[in-house]
Amino acid sequence: MLKDIDILIDEKKVDQELLNKRMNVINSIHDLEKLEATEIAQKAKIKWSIEGDENSKFFMERFNSPCSYGLMLEGEFSNKLRADQSIDLESNVTIEEIKKAVWDC
């Protein structure tokens, strides 16, 4: 229907009634698209309520459990960098260093 109206407009056979009809068709299409988007959102919420609990359970078990599976750490951990580490982080990076890092991967 919209295609037929556009053909008439292209042929310069335009009147106010035709323009109003075109506007009504476009508004109807817009309303249908809005309704479809609402329906898709509702389906996604339902799907999440069913499947989301399974995903949440997996991640909660994974991240709430202690992460020391056979890993033994000894020694002290400091929150500060040594002087040489600090200087290395603050030094300028050359183009050659960037190229080497990228191409040596």
Where are the chain's structural domains? 2-103
Give residue 51's pLDDT.
Answer: 74
Give residue 71's pLDDT.
Answer: 57
Average pLDDT for runs of 10 along the chain of length 105: 85 86 92 95 86 73 66 68 89 90 86
- Cα-based torsion angle of the residue sequence 29, 32, 36, 37 in order, rounded to the nearest 10 degrees: 70
Given a contact cutoff of 8 angstroms between Cβ atoms, the answer to whether 34 and 41 are in contact is: no
What's the pTM value of the predicted model, to 2 decimals? Answer: 0.43
* SS3 annotation, 29-82: HHHHHHHHHHHHHHHHHHHHHHHHHHHHHHHHHHHHCCCCCCCCCCCCCCCCCC
Give residue 72's pLDDT.
Answer: 58
Give residue 95's pLDDT.
Answer: 92
Give residue 32's pLDDT.
Answer: 95
